[in-house]
Amino acid sequence: MSGLIVSDVTVRLGSQTILSDIALTAAPGTVTGLIGPNGAGKSTLMRAILGLAPLASGAVTFDGADLLAMPRRTRAQFTAFVEQSGSTDARLTASEVVTLGRIPFQSVWQATPSPDDATHVDAALAEVGMTDFSARLYHTLSGGEQQRIQIARALAQQPRLLILDEPTSHLDVHAQLTTLDLLQRRARAGATVLLALHDLNLAAAFCDSLAVLHLGRQVAFGTPEQVLTPPLLRQVYDVNATLLRHPGSGRPLIAYDLPG
């Protein structure tokens, strides 16, 4: 099967089990969301998929190949990762940070970006609406601007597998919607997109499928309509939820109350 397949993944830190028997699929052309409270294991799962957290057991494949057995450079030529925070003290311009996404494609003796690199960097900056910031020093940008530059860095890799940990953090409402629309369009063009989100209404609006993590275990996997039920939201988030429908898209909308 093509796309990302996570099979019975368990991650341990010493004697503590952080993730237990996680199994999910993310197909090309789709956006798959990871949801769950803080500490549920979303970031750890992403790092495990990328080989940044060792597996105690299980397997991760992409397009039928063992993702974790690949050399890092090979993996980076089709996989991009955006972490929650991409701060740096290095005095790099925004454009130079985006150019880091081209490193997997550069030869060891290449001193400067190639014209092809520059084309991808310029396109990625334009795609996230940050062309006018290209010459700005990255560390002087706001948190939201830095987030968009990190997404541009990932897009410059032209990834077939795009993994993002809270890509809407630090972004205002308009930037959240445009960023998720961009990622959805990337998926529709053939990429496999896996992202973690805290905002359940954004997850319902933009994700094709959702995996719900709770205390290191996967408690549900399916479409937003299948997953975002009041009993499950009460179990995982300890909130009373009322499900509505978006008047335009028909997607689920969730109103919350504290139990009591």
Give per-residue pLDDT as tens, 218-254: 999 999 999 999 999 999 999 999 999 999 888 999 9
* pLDDT tens column, 132-175: 999 999 999 999 999 999 999 999 999 999 999 999 988 999 99
For range 184-201, the mean pLDDT: 97
| Residue 189: other Cβ atoms inside 10 A | 9
Cα–Cα distance measured from residue 143 to residue 62, given in angstroms and rounded to the nearest whole number:
32
Return the beta strands (E) in the chain as ranges: 4-13, 16-26, 31-35, 57-62, 65-66, 79-82, 161-165, 192-196, 209-214, 217-222, 240-245, 252-257
Q: SS3 for 231? A: helix
- Is the pLDDT at 85 greater than 80? The verdict is no
Q: Can you tell me the distance from the alpha carbon of 9 to that of 17, in angstroms, rounded to the nearest whole number?
A: 11
Which pTM value belongs to this model? 0.95
Domains defined for the chain, CATH in brackets? 1-78+160-226 (3.40.50.300), 89-158 (no CATH)
Asked if the model's pLDDT at residue 97 lies above 80, the reply is: yes
Residue 18, pLDDT > 80, answer yes
Res 111: pLDDT: 66
pLDDT at 170: 86
pLDDT at 67 over 80: yes
Kindly report, residue by residue over 107-124, the tens digit of the pLDDT.
777 767 888 999 999 999
The terminus-to-terminus CA distance of the chain in angstroms comes to 46
